[in-house]
Amino acid sequence: MGLLRPERMTKVGLLGWKDDQERILTVLHDLRLAQVEPLSPAALAELAPERGTETQRTIGDEALRFRGLKSALPAVPVGAPRRFDTLDDILAAAKAVPIDAEVGDLTRENDRLLSEQQATDESLALLEKLSFYPDRLEYLTGESFLSFFGEGDPEAIGALRAAVPPSADAQFLLDPSGGGRCLVSLRRAAADALLRAAQSGGVHLTAVPNLRGTAPEELEHLRARREEVLRRRVAIAERLGALARDWYPTVAAIDEALQVENRKVEIVAKLGAGRSTFALEAWVPSRDVARLESVVQSAAGGRVYFYAVPTEEEPPTLMSNPRGIRRFEFFIRFYSLPQADEWDPTLVFAIAFPLFFGLMLGDWGYGLTILLICLWMIAGFPGAQHLPKFGRNFVKRIMGPEGMRQLAYALIPGCLLAIGLGVYFDEFFGYPLFAKLLGYVAPLDPLHQVGLLLLFAGFVGLGMVTLGFVFGLLKEYFHHHRRGVIGKFGGILFAWGLAFFGLCVLGAKTLGPVTAKGASTANPSFDVALAGLVLGLVLMVVGEGVQNGMMSLIEVLSHILSYTRLVGILLASVVLALVINTIAGGLFAGGAVVGVVVALVILVIGQSFNVILGVFEPGIQGARLIFVEYFSKFYTGNGQPFRPFGAARTHTVSSVSADGASATPILQAPPG
């Protein structure tokens, strides 16, 4: 389990007998510890690429067949997982399933009936609206003319009627009830012009179906046919249900087994092959190499040769943080995955982001509201169907359900801190509730002690920038970049020199007389600050060059000052809440009914808007302070995720036991 580093990866190779290949690949699949890679050129020089076989093509065909069967049958409880010891067992079980033809016929018939039912429903809905047309429907369709049913505002229908050219010979029959409905018959050649005019004019047109009787007669026939279709579909569903009770557990198990074999077939293309041997190379977490070797050797009866593969390739990245910290990996992946040989910033993000979020929110009313929203998101948005459609679509456009859930988990610590700080500041939706009810005097008032908060934000910025330089220095050291180490150390000295210099100025300290040696006798801290500034600048220029060193100078200053936005966003929220409460309070004080109603509207809309800002501004700006001001000192990113070969089993028995040992029987050694 890593905290500040991704898991160390080792590239390993194994050489085994072809007779053991199927079993070894099965064990690798079930362990899910190895990202199989194409064979290295050195190994390919001794072995040929593995070729596909007719059996592998059979696996693909059978996998497609059973995936279709599984999707066609209704799911039923499967029960105990099924065991297949060999590929021959899987293929034999697949051939013993005799329901393909019947399931296929039932599925195709059901699809056809479903299409007919949908068309019938549309015709029924249309004919119910055509009650104002008394004649036979066959009169509405001919070789040279078409008919359409139209819906829209009466004014829009009138405009459409005027827009149709006389050459169309259009005949309009309006609904006498005045419901904005009409029937239009015109020449076939003019149909496109009518449709374009209707679309631009806001009239919805539907082609009249080719039916023969009157509307009431056809309604009766269509309803009877719809009942027949529904009865047949119910019978099909019952038959499929009976087949599922008999065969679904078997189909699900065979489907899963074939999917495993299909994944193994995809891996085969990356293997090397000799006359009777095969070779494989893979990235494996270093902590798991011994376990992988032990299980594979057990499965193959000790007939596998394991070896380390020397390589300069960049390994894939596997982050392995503790459970609580792991929630914040979502943000790191959203930004950029770390490379396998650099720092994993998740731990620092997990500490800093909630602190920044809580400080910028700083109100226990807003914090409690956002906390409840987060709990609602984690629960899966129960009752969201009652929200306006615009709100639901807006949420879906931001990110998917799983992303929303991860975001909610990450915001909870910040909300709790905001509640604590809000109680300390006595801020409840911008109102000093405890002061009014209990006479509580807040130890710190954000509006009247801005200087103290800005000083605190400056020290936070200094700490984050320094920590970034420390990680950058260590990264350069481990990569043997001496000038990089010098440059990062210079950045630390310059940042602290700048901080001391700023404190001297803010403290209104005199620089004092300067002695012959150039030292200030009145304020030694100024001398320390000046020495840090000068030495830091020199080291940055030496480590990064003149141009980059001078740019780093400006960057350090701007990045430290950037953390004052922690206070700026807090004050913006406090001031906006104060304005909303002041305006609403004045209207309440007036006592007029209209004023009270307007005040309530202002409070609800204004505070809701401030809650939305309380999610987005602290969230975005808090993440930005880490991504830009902190990451820029050491973080490269663009790592490749570790994608191990394999997937979890549900309906079949794994080849690896619960204790991690091989659960498959050992094959006899091949002859020779």
Same domain, 291 and 278: yes
Q: Are 544 and 483 in contact (CB under 8 A)?
A: yes
In a shared domain, residues 372 and 282 = no
Residue 2: predicted pLDDT: 63
**Using the 8-state DSSP alphabet, how is residue 135 labeled?**
S
pLDDT of residue 266: 87
Amino acid at 387: L
Q: How far apart are CA 230 and CA 240, in angstroms?
A: 15
Distance of CA 236 to CAs 232, 295, 412, 534, 614, Å? 6, 48, 50, 85, 54
Judge if 436 and 580 occupy the same domain: yes
| Amino acid in position 192 | D
Collapsing DSSP to helix, strand or coil, 520 comes out as strand
Question: Does a structural domain hold residue 63?
Answer: no
Indicate the DSSP class of residue 140: G
Judgement on whether residues 328 and 431 belong to the same structural domain of the protein:
yes
Average pLDDT over residues 498-502: 82
Percent of the chain with pLDDT strictly greater than 90: 50
Contact status, residue 81 vs residue 651, Cβ threshold 8 Å: yes
Whether 97 is covered by a domain: the verdict is: no
Domain of 422, in residue numbers: 323-361+363-445+564-633
pLDDT tens digits, 574-598:
999 999 999 988 888 877 888 888 9
Does residue 212 sit in the same domain as residue 273?
no
Q: Burial level of 373, CB count in 10 A (0-12/13-18/19+)?
A: middle
In a domain, 242, yes or no: no
Domain boundary among 227, 252, 278: 227
Interval 155-171 mean pLDDT: 88
Asked whether 260 and 79 are in contact (CB, 8 A), the reply is no
3-state secondary structure of 342: coil
Number of compact structural domains in the chain: 4
Q: Are 355 and 488 members of one domain? A: no
Say how many residues make up the chain.
672
- How far is residue 321's CA from residue 306's CA, in Å, rounded to a whole number? 29
Residue-by-residue DSSP string for 375-394: HHHHTT-TTGGGS-HHHHHH
Q: When comparing pLDDT for 49 and 647, which is higher?
A: 647
Q: Which two tokens stand for residue 560?
A: 């430290």
Closest CA to 196 of 231, 229, 165: 165
* Same-domain check for residues 518 and 568: no
Asked if residue 619 and residue 558 are part of one domain, the reply reads no
- 301: CATH: 3.30.70.240
Confidence of residue 518 (pLDDT cuts 50, 70, 90): very low
Question: Is the domain of 139 the same as that of 179?
Answer: yes
Q: What CATH code is carried by the domain that includes residue 194?
A: 3.30.70.340
Query: What gap in Å lies between CA 347 and CA 328, rounded to an integer?
Result: 8
Residue 195 makes CB contacts below 8 A (sequence gap 6+) with 205
Residue 576, Cβ neighbours under 10 Å: how many?
A: 17
Domain membership flag for residue 113: no
The residue out of 193, 208, 227 marking a domain boundary is 227
Task: Write down the pLDDT at residue 672.
Answer: 32
Task: Give yes or no: residues 378 and 400 share one domain.
Answer: yes
- Domain termination residue (choose one: 518, 544, 562): 562
Judge if 599 and 577 occupy the same domain. Answer: yes
Contact (Cβ atoms closer than 8 angstroms) between residue 256 and residue 649: yes
Q: Are residues 215 and 293 located together in one domain of the fold?
A: no
Helical ranges in 271-388 per DSSP H: 289-299, 323-326, 329-335, 346-361, 364-378
Asked whether residue 621 is assigned to any structural domain, the reply reads: yes
Q: Is residue 126 part of a domain?
A: yes
Most confident by average pLDDT, 197-211, 231-245, 437-451:
231-245
